[in-house]
Amino acid sequence: MDSMMASASRDLKEHEPMTTPTAKVGKPLSTARQAAFGATVTAISLAMSIAMSIAMESTALSAAPGVGASDPIQPSSYTLPIIRNGRKTIRVAANFWSGEYPSPVIDVNSSSPGETEIKAYKSLRDEKPATRCTITNGLYHPWSTTPNSVVSYYQIVPLVEYKALRPRTIAGAKLEKGAVISRLLYLAEGSCQGVVRRGKKETPIDFPCEEVNEAQGMRLVSGAHDKFEEQWLHVSCKQGHKAFIRDRELLATAGVREGEVESYGVVRARRTP
């Protein structure tokens, strides 16, 4: 996981807006799932910290296709210009799939040892140019434990920002009037992540999504009604290069079908009746 996140930190700077995070507040977790979710968030945060240290200390790390070597490294998310249908917009990219049960589970011929050729892209910023890519058969999902060709998983969502209308304290962070929480990302079970922006300084923050809304003295200033959301996989191709493929395009590949969640944190090939 450390190598995956280290590669993720240097290999991408593209992400985009999700729906407004406050709309996704989940039901209370059971004690067991609280522990499981807490451990997952802790592991992600630790891996990202390690990834940052590695990326900052090593000058040998190269940028992935579509990513400039001079792009600044961010704690866990990135503002990123992308082009869709000929239109350029600024989105937010993060190296994970969010949600209580991330989906889809993608079964790339997992029952047959071998490889599958897919159509992927050298960059996900503008979905071109296309490139041939051969990947290992297996289950493709953040919870998968089977061997596969994934380098990292990405989501691209809207740039969501809230501005403090009055002094506030959120998750222990004191916000003065006018402070902005930017790059909001939904994690799972009502938990959100973002950065507090004060001028040029940014401080990462995790907090309950329900604490950021008009009723709590926070005004939505960016991302209203923006439903854009994409999920991507960054894969290592047998041809020797890396490439990006969108989850739904991988699912549409011949011989690929959707798997299923067996239980929290466990995925499998879909069982036929």
Task: Name which residue leads in pLDDT, 231 or 272.
Answer: 231
Strand runs (DSSP E) across the chain, as ranges?
A: 77-84, 87-94, 106-108, 115-121, 130-136, 138-140, 150-158, 161-164, 168-170, 173-175, 180-188, 191-198, 201-208, 218-222, 230-236, 242-246, 256-258, 260-263, 266-268
Angstrom CA distances, 27 to 96, 115, 191, stand at: 21, 40, 11
* pLDDT at 226 exceeding the cut of 80: yes
The pLDDT value recorded for residue 141 is: 97
Residue pLDDT, tens place only, 154-167: 999 999 999 999 99
Mean pLDDT across the chain: 78
Tokens of 239: 């041809």
Please give the CATH number for the structural domain made up of 161-222: 2.30.30
The ranges assigned to domains in the chain are 2-158+227-268, 161-222
pLDDT greater than 90 at residue 175? yes
Please give the structure tokens belonging to residue 13.
Answer: 């700077």
Task: Determine the Cα–Cα distance for residues 49 and 36; give it in Å rounded to an integer.
Answer: 20
Q: What is the value of pTM for the model shown?
A: 0.72
- Reported as a pLDDT band with limits 50, 70 and 90, residue 273 is low
